[in-house]
Structure 1
């Protein structure tokens, strides 16, 4: 039964959105593995699908997180043939401040803070003509789920959010830029990638490369070589973050287990790339990149300290980007995150959205009440002099830091 108090969120699909002769099936619990087989068969017919809704990514995620995060594969069939599939998860450890939240997510999301694989370029697996029907089926299924405070679309291309034709727009929507280097541009112009960068970046890179001299690079060609680069990347990544007082992405055993599955299962099919740069016998940096329809996604990294090597992130990424251009990849995508090298080494940008629909639940009403009380308290604590800007802020006061959702912490997975 649909709760009539859920009218503020995604409660019902557009009328008439599901054509005749379509059937919908939910695969969960012990049926998830059978659902994954259906997923793989559909992907084999579709061909070149987005990495983060591929069978490789989805199956590795479910093997790692299914015991923690209740998950359902929803499939749509037309005249007996599967034409669409989506993963829907119930979040674990989701909170608004100290208050636990009950959340639904489309795609591989909903992990507790510190354990997220940071899905970006999220999406659906569907035959184009049946994509609206799959979206309608997902909306209808989610509207029937009780005990839900929020519905999330995590890391979707901004233009795809409009396809989710709910009665109301998202309650919250956060748009973030993905910077990338279009590798087709230097090939078409007969130029080196360096020549398409800004003047100061070109000068800086030339100066750095002269200072380094000979740099040995490795684009792993065997699983053993890739595993060696991966292991060193983990060590460098953790050292950098622990030194800054942070746990680092690989403090999560689940996160590391997922990455190792991706490496083992995806390397031979050229879906995962491991790259390393070394100078005078010491590693400058290591990268793990994912191959998404001809694009390289800068997913994980580990670099030497700045005390050991100058600008290790900038240099490693430029060398890898240049090799990617020679290997005729379409683009080098830095994903989300505020890092200087992403601006310096990119030619273009596109946007991803994290959208949330809040339902009218007692829990959300309580959260809104507490937020209102906090605002009232903050206003009443301010003196008339402070309101007039006549006195400096108290040395004990602090500006609240907005909470980050786990899925927007891709920068944590890729420190420079």
Structure 2
């Protein structure tokens, strides 16, 4: 669906187009991938494969992906989804990045030869009256979104918050040299204890059958671990399992999938899902069997992943993904800052929504146990609806 308008001075204009269906999005694969190749800040979470697969398996009220094009060439992408909150006259239309809760980094895509075209997408979005608020989460501190919003717009409210961090580790040096001695010795000692129990193997999935097998084992172990804590694993949801499998199978032939398993006598000890994103290795999900918990199997798996990736020259950065959990910080040397942008129209509906999301929600999120309870309540309600 075209916006039927062009933006920019005469002779230097782009056309803005709205993408409202997965079928339309599928048709843009080649142009989207070419843009991602040109964009030095592009991540796998803004890739055509990631978003198109996610949108096929997840619900949002409406896709609202905006693209700028010059002929057949895409020059900017703002991948949004519309969500309705509330009912009837009290309902709000909120725009968020597509797949934000299942992505570590969210942002736009921009062609370095036409950086102004991203601004045209904001202009087109700002001129529309069919949204109340924008809730843009997990934006890198120096991402495009940070430069997207013009200053001095009297018709909107804007709030920028530090939302999360994403720790990472430089793989140029051996982890045996960079980890603190106590941590390193503990991992080596536990690895020896694991090997004393039987035959230890480490395998990376290389064909569809092994992908399906490892994901099924991961789901079983993950569900059991979360149930033991009285919580609901995302693997309890069929659409999540189906999406993850479809995603992995699409990434496998492009050599962007790194799904691995640590086993003892063919019994899964720990399984990890990573991606190969340029020279980065984003860690997405890992889990381990409870009967090996005393050995710290997640850390043993991480050492084997790092050794394999370094030996094969697959990545230079081990990215642990968003979240400042203590186990990540044991490994990481630095962290990327992730921001949240809240934008609301100065209307009777937009202003109260802005103050709720910008001021009250962050107070609740400071208390981790409250967030955990809220997440668990949402998941249990969703399970009852299945």
Q: Shorter-chain TM-score: what band?
A: 0.7 to 0.9
In the TM superposition, residue 79 of structure 1 has moved relative to its aligned partner by: 5.4
Q: Does 1:68 align with 2:68?
A: no
Equivalent residue of 2:114, what SS?
A: helix
Matched, 1:204 2:186: yes
Which of the numbers 283, 286, 309 marks the counterpart of 2:268? 283
Gap change, CA 1:368 and 1:288, over 3 Å in 2: closer
Cα displacement string for residues 247-279 of structure 1 (whole angstroms, at most 9, x for unaligned residues): 111223222222111111111111111100012
Kept after mapping to 2: 8 A contact 1:107/1:123? no
> What whole-Å deviation, never above 9, does each CA across 1:110-135 have from its counterpart, x for those lacking one?
xxxxxx42x2222323311223322x
* 1:157 equivalent in structure 2: 140
- 1:87 is displaced (CA, Å) by 1.7
Q: Specify which structure has the bigger relative contact order, considering alpha-carbon pairs within 8 angstroms and separated by 6 or more residues.
A: 1
For residue 321 of structure 1, report the CA deviation from its aligned partner.
Answer: 2.0
Residue 195 of structure 1 aligns to a residue whose secondary structure is helix
TM-score between the two structures when normalised by the length of structure 1: 0.74
1:37 to 27, 33, 44: 27
Deviations 1:289-347 (A, max 9, x none): 12211211111122111665521222222221221221211111111223222111223
Q: Equivalents in 2 of 1:370, 1:74: separation in Å?
A: 27
Instruction: Name the stretch that deviates more: 314-323 or 285-294.
Output: 314-323
CA contact (8 A) 1:26 1:72 kept: no
How far, CA to CA, are the matches of 2:333 and 2:288 in structure 1? 23
Find the residue that maps to 2:284 and give its secondary structure: strand
Deviation at 1:84, TM superposition (A): 2.2
Q: Name whichever of 32-41 and 311-320 sits farther off.
A: 32-41
Say which SS state the counterpart of residue 292 (structure 1) adopts.
coil
- Summarize deviations over 1:175-231 as a string: whole Å, max 9, x none: 322111211x21xxxxx3221112221121122112212521111122211221111
Count of residue pairs brought into register by the alignment: 348
Runs (4+) of structure 1 exceeding 4 A deviation are 92-95, 306-309, 364-371, 402-406
User: In structure 2, do the counterparts of structure 1 residues 306 and 156 end up closer, same or farther at CA, with 3 Å as the change threshold?
Assistant: farther
Distance in 1 (CA, whole Å) between partners of 2:328 and 2:368 is 28
* Gap change, CA 1:302 and 1:94, over 3 Å in 2: farther
Q: State how far apart, in whole Å, the 2-side matches of 1:405 and 1:137 are.
A: 38
The alignment's C-alpha RMSD in Å is: 3.3
- Pair 1:369–1:333, CA change in 2 (3 A): closer
Larger Rg: 1 or 2? 1
Q: Which moved more, 1:80-89 or 1:326-335?
A: 80-89
CA distance in 1 between partners of 2:74 and 2:353 (Å):
41
Shift of 1:281: 3.9
How do residues 87-102 of structure 1 correspond to structure 2 at under 5 angstroms? 87-92=79-84, 101-102=92-93
Q: What's the TM-score, normalizing by structure 2?
A: 0.79
Q: 1:401 aligns with which of 370, 373, 380?
A: 370
- List alignment gaps of at least 5 residues for structure 2: 1-6, 361-366, 379-386
Q: 1:353 aligns with which of 310, 318, 339?
A: 339
**Which residue of structure 2 lines up, in the alignment, with residue 182 of structure 1?**
170
Q: Distance in 2 between matches of 1:399 and 1:43?
A: 38
Look up the match of 1:103: 94
- For residues 15-414 of structure 1, the aligned pairs below 5 Å read 18-20=8-10, 21-29=12-20, 32-44=22-34, 46-47=36-37, 49-65=42-58, 68-78=60-70, 81-92=73-84, 101-109=92-100, 116-117=101-102, 119-134=103-118, 136-160=119-143, 161-167=145-151, 170-183=158-171, 185-186=172-173, 192-213=174-195, 215-305=200-290, 309-328=294-313, 329-366=315-352, 401=370
Distance 2:128 2:162 in 1: 25
Q: Which runs of 5+ in 1 are unaligned?
A: 1-16, 110-115, 187-191, 375-397, 410-416
Deviation at 1:103, TM superposition (A): 0.9
CA distance in 1, matches of 2:164, 2:373: 13
**CA-to-aligned-CA distance 1:341-394 (integer Å, 9 cap, x gap):** 2111223222222221233333355568999xx9xxxxxxxxxxxxxxxxxxxx
Q: 1:249 to 1:93 in 2, by over 3 A?
A: farther
Q: Which has the higher strand share?
A: 2
Bigger mean CA offset, 227-236 vs 56-65: 56-65
Shift of 1:80: 5.7
Separation of aligned partners in 1, 2:336 and 2:354: 33
In 2, distance between residues paired with 1:94 and 1:316? 44
Q: Distance in 1 between matches of 2:355 and 2:97?
A: 28
Residues 182, 170 of structure 1: alpha-carbon distance in 2 compared, 3 angstrom cutoff = farther
Change (3 A) 1:339 1:89: same
